[in-house]
Copies of this chain bind each other. A is one copy, B any other.
Amino acid sequence: MSGRLIVVGLGPGEARFLTPQAGEALERAEALYGYGPYLDRVPARNGQSKIASDNREELGRAKAALAHAAAGACVAVVSGGDPGVFAMAAAVMEAIEDGPEEWRALDVEVVPGITAMLAVAAMAGAPLGHDFCALSLSDNLKPLELVEKRLRLAAEAGLVIALYNPVSKARPWQLDRAFEVLREALPATVPVVFGHAAGRADARIAVVPLSEARGGMADMATCIIIGSSDTRLITREGLTPLVYAPRSAMGAAKAAG
């Protein structure tokens, strides 16, 4: 079988984040599958088709791309950020596992990209410089109890927390609930970084203490980084503060409650 499927990460926004490896994969592909706004970032090329689908149709898009590749084409599935972090690579794997046997024989490649938390961390200083976790608050793929449990255990472990998909239409109140859970486990002064549209022209960050963090400060283009009790804040006159995780972690977590 000559079919090939490449899951390509574009990075968090502008072309300056696109790796040469990703650029070559996009060049090579006969067809590109993806969420419309991501496909729009890829310059049109003669003879290459673009098949756009809605943000919520990950599994359907993965299946369509796999079927196309299985017919002998070189197909790219385009993802924002890194395709392996809360993005298309897992949907493609899921489709392969549940799909026809021949899909397992396809040449499948994942091309990594700069994921949102790395771009937000770079804007803020080095808040992910020591142990951390990445959690998604997204939609209905995970029971709310599990989200809360993970937040509590992450705080107890002294991990810095990167929150993806912090705002969902189905649960607009969920982010405020997450801050509430974390306020029970962490000092009120822990810095929270709201990174909006990282890697895009309108990128901006805001840093507030956990006590002042509110769900309304985030939108669907925000990635949030919540410090641990080790996290340091460097104030600078006339400049945004720098937030970082010391390389030497003492892990002193305030007792819950």
* Identical copies in the complex: 2
Taking A114-B112, A251-B146 as contacts, is the C-beta distance between A234 and B96 under 8 angstroms?
yes
Q: Let me know if B93 and A126 touch, CB within 8 A.
A: yes
Q: Which of A2-38 contact B (CB under 8 A)?
A: 11, 15-21, 24
How far, in angstroms, from A131 to B138 measured CA to CA in the complex? 11
Of the candidates B16, B108, B125, B232, the one whose C-beta lies within 8 Å of that of A242 is B108
Task: Name the interface residues of A75-96: CB closer than 8 Å to any CB of B.
Answer: 82-87, 89-94, 96
**Among B93, B153, B235, contact of A244 (Cβ-Cβ < 8 Å):** B93
A133 part of interface (Cβ distance < 8 Å): yes
Question: With A20-B15, A158-B150 given, is the CB distance from A142 to B112 under 8 Å?
Answer: no
A129's contact among B93, B118, B159, B246, by CB below 8 Å, is which?
A: B93
Instruction: Tell me which residues from 95 to 137 in chain A have a Cβ below 8 Å from any Cβ of chain B.
Output: 96-97, 104-105, 108-115, 118-119, 121-123, 125-136
> Contact between B247 and A58 (Cβ–Cβ < 8 Å)?
yes
CA distance A250 to B149 in the complex (A): 12
Q: Are B133 and A244 touching (Cβ within 8 A)?
A: no
Nearest CB in chain B: distance from A19 CB, A: 5
Given A122-B112, A153-B153, answer yes or no on A245-B133 (Cβ-Cβ < 8 Å). Answer: no
Count of chain A residues with a beta carbon within 8 Å of a chain B beta carbon = 78
B118-A248 in contact (CB<8A):
no
A141 within 8 A of partner (CB): yes
A21 to B91, CA, bound (A): 29
- Whether A82 pairs with B118 at a CB distance below 8 angstroms is yes
- Given A126-B93, A131-B150, A141-B247, decide whether A18 and B16 contact each other with a Cβ distance below 8 A: no
Interface string of A135-179 (1 = CB under 8 A from B): 110000111001001100110111100000000000000000000
Q: Is A236's CB within 8 Å of the partner chain B?
A: yes
The 5 residue pairs across chains A and B that have the minimum distance between CB atoms: A90-B129, A93-B244, A89-B126, A133-B133, A110-B122
**Told that A18-B19, A83-B126 touch, could you supply 20 new A-B pairs with CB distance under 8 A?**
A16-B21, A19-B19, A82-B114, A84-B118, A87-B129, A90-B244, A93-B242, A96-B242, A104-B239, A109-B122, A110-B123, A112-B119, A114-B114, A115-B118, A131-B135, A133-B154, A142-B248, A143-B250, A146-B158, A150-B157
